Amino acid sequence: MSARLQVLPQPEPAPRAPEALGERLLAVRGLTLRYGRNPPAVEEVEFAVAAGELVSLVGPSGCGKSTILRAIAGLHRPERGTVELGVARRALGFLFQDDALLPWRTARDNVALGLRFAGMSRREARAEAEAWLARLGLAGLGGRYPAQLSGGQRKRVALAQVLALRPRLLLMDEPFAALDAIVRQQVTQELLRWVEREGIAVVLVTHDLEEAIALADRVLLLGQGPRARIQARHPVDIPRPRDLVAVRGHPAFAPLYRRLWRDLSRAMGREETP
Amino acid sequence: MSASDRGLSVALRRTLGLALLLAFWEWGARAGVIDPFYAPAPSTVAGTLFALFQGGTLYPHIAATFSAALLGLGAGLLIGGLLGFTAALIRPLADLLEPFMMLLNAVPRVILAPLFVIWFGIDLGSKVALSLVLVAVLVFFAVYNGIRDVDRRLVERVLTLGGGRLAVLREVYLPSVTAWVMGSLRVAVGFAFTGAVVGEFVASSRGLGYLLSFAQSTYNAAQTLALILIVMAFVLLLFWLGGWLERRLLRWRHP
């Protein structure tokens, strides 16, 4: 079988610059993904993520960004290429685009779910879940069902669900796209603070260039599908910790934004600048 | 006016409507506007009902119908549920079962009653069989569709949070299916009693259906109405139980 999915117990030694900064948590090699008989959505995609590194993956809608994340998480079998994980699979968190929680479980039990899978007792898992809900500003809402929560609250529950498992690598598929601008800014900032403090590595899929730059250490640009490849890789030289509002005023921000926009327009077949 | 006050006044108006109908009926029968041969006065029906219970001869009949309906309901839920579950998860089995189930679903299944009498005799067996078939087909489709309709995203959530196949089954499939089955439980209860009573119409030596067909053959409208009331009371009781169960199990839906 050409498709292979392997989990390496040990991270690869001696990473090369500039692809990886230190210990690599993830290496994607020659990844080609397709749905059914269609031509491949993405082709020969290569990148690596170091411990604590935030990488944004941007590109036109429908270019296969999400599928790359799904392949990393083992939800989509690659046509060709490999995904190597330098962490155990349970140290991999996936934050999805929608906020689908188990509707028949309370917020508390939704957060406790992964902890229970990891072998924690019901009582311990619930206590831990409550602590995570409190940390994300949802204290006292643990007994509510998803139907009783607002969109922003559900998103926070989903975030608590993933963070409670203490991931070392977090995959995020436009996680806050459905939220209104203010709530989105708040939740994103909270997440960023947590990720920076805990040194969690992130692969963020987004089509929002500002968000991509504001959060990431590196921005990878995927071209127009089908057969999309990585067209450009830009480092983001803005120090951490970052404030989501202040970062937009950093001198490095605007030039990078313009370059990314130019690259993206080129990738989509239009020679345009804003 | 609070919500509970409004609920009370609705209940009051409904009771009033029923009381008015009964009062009109009673008056009509006594005044000769309604022929008591066809529609005996409510007081006459109540008297017949009372007499039926007082004699003590009614209880074996109630027991017969009740056991047929409940056995049919239980077995129907179990068999229909298991078939639906396995068919939804094992594709070839679904291809095998679906045409058969479609056919059973399309025809009025009570036409099987005479056949069941030939196969299982005039005792409990044929009634349970009819009840079972009525319920099982309904539950089969409820469970089958329930599983087919499972939200893929929830399955992926459970998998990415570290759950295995068993966890997916317990956390996603079972609750989804429960919701579908609860939705058809009321209909299933009605079907179970339909099966039992119709089975008794066709051939039997006891049961409420047997008494009904006896009352009909003697043109005893009062007794017929009294027996109908008994069946209705039992079905309503089961509806209420089912509703209670539904509220408990599906609390997440209407918290």
Mean pLDDT of chain A: 86
Chain B residues with CB inside 8 Å of A102's CB?
154, 157-158, 171-172, 175
Q: With an 8 Å Cβ cutoff, are A145 and B172 in contact?
A: no
At A35, which CATH number?
3.40.50.300
Q: How far apart are CA B65 and CA B124, in angstroms?
A: 9
Shared domain for A162 and A108, answered yes or no, is: yes
Shared domain for A59 and A190, answered yes or no, is: yes
- Here the ipTM equals 0.81
Shared domain for A28 and A161, answered yes or no, is: no
Shared domain for A44 and A79, answered yes or no, is: yes
Is residue A263 one of the residues assigned to a domain? yes
Is residue A4 one of the residues assigned to a domain? no
How many percent of chain B have pLDDT more than 90?
Answer: 30
Residues of chain A with pLDDT under 50: 1-22, 271-274
Q: Which one of A146, A166, A186 terminates a domain?
A: A166
What is the count of structural domains for chain A?
2
Q: Which one of A149, A166, A183 terminates a domain?
A: A166
Domain of A145, in residue numbers: 102-166
For the segment A179-205, what is each residue's pLDDT rounded down to a tens digit?
888 888 888 998 999 999 999 999 999
Residues 6+ apart with CB under 8 A from A7: A84, A85, A88, A89
Is residue A93 one of the residues assigned to a domain? no
Shared domain for A226 and A132, answered yes or no, is: no
Is residue A11 one of the residues assigned to a domain? no
Is residue A12 one of the residues assigned to a domain? no
Q: With an 8 Å Cβ cutoff, are B255 and A117 in contact?
A: no
For the segment A84-100, what is each residue's pLDDT rounded down to a tens digit?
988 888 889 999 988 88
Chain B residues with CB inside 8 Å of A144's CB?
255
Mutate to test the interface with B, among A101, A117, A141, A166 (most CBs of B within 10 A): A117
Is residue A274 one of the residues assigned to a domain? yes
Give the pLDDT score at B143: 92
Q: With an 8 Å Cβ cutoff, are B162 and A73 in contact?
A: no
Shared domain for A138 and A122, answered yes or no, is: yes
DSSP secondary structure letters along chain B: --HHHHHHHHHHHHHHHHHHHHHHHHHHHHHTSS-TTTS--HHHHHHHHHHHHHHS-HHHHHHHHHHHHHHHHHHHHHHHHHHHHHHHH-HHHHHHHHHHHHHHHHS-GGGGHHHHHHHH-SSHHHHHHHHHHHHHHHHHHHHHHHHHT--HHHHHHHHHTT--HHHHIIIIIHHHHHHHHHHHHHHHHHHHHHHHHHHHHHS-SSSHHHHHHHHHHTT-HHHHHHHHHHHHHHHHHHHHHHHHHHHHHTTTT--
Q: How far is B251 from chain A (nearest CA, A)?
A: 8
Give the pLDDT score at B255: 61
Residue B246: pLDDT band by 50, 70, 90 thresholds?
Answer: confident
Residue of A nearest to B152 (CA): A100
Shared domain for A156 and A172, answered yes or no, is: no
Nearest to B162 among A103, A114, A146 (CB): A114
The correct answer on CATH 1.20.1070.10 for the domain covering B40-249 is no
Shared domain for A209 and A270, answered yes or no, is: yes
Shared domain for A179 and A154, answered yes or no, is: no
Q: How far apart are CA A121 and CA A189, in angstroms?
A: 32
C-alpha distances out from residue A17 to A21, A48, A51, A239, B197, Å: 7, 11, 14, 19, 81
For chain A, list residues whose CB is within 8 angstroms of any CB belonging to chain B: 73-75, 89-90, 92-94, 96, 98, 100-105, 113-114, 117-118, 144-148, 161-162, 165
Every domain of chain B and the residues it spans: 1-34, 40-249
Shared domain for A269 and A187, answered yes or no, is: yes
Q: Which one of A148, A166, A184 terminates a domain?
A: A166
Is residue A7 one of the residues assigned to a domain? no
Give the pLDDT score at A14: 37
Q: How far is CA B248 from the centre of its chain?
A: 19
In which residue are the tokens 């009771």 written?
Answer: B15
Give the pLDDT score at A8: 34
Give the pLDDT score at B4: 61
Give the pLDDT score at A270: 54
For the segment B65-86, what is each residue's pLDDT rounded down to a tens digit?
999 999 999 999 999 999 998 8
Give the pLDDT score at B49: 86
Shared domain for A246 and A118, answered yes or no, is: no
Shared domain for A76 and A190, answered yes or no, is: yes
Q: How far is B180 from chain A (nearest CA, A)?
A: 13
Chain B residues with CB inside 8 Å of A145's CB?
251-252, 255
Q: With an 8 Å Cβ cutoff, are A161 and B161 in contact?
A: yes
Give the pLDDT score at A272: 45
Q: How far is CA A174 from the centre of its chain?
A: 8
Is residue A79 one of the residues assigned to a domain? yes
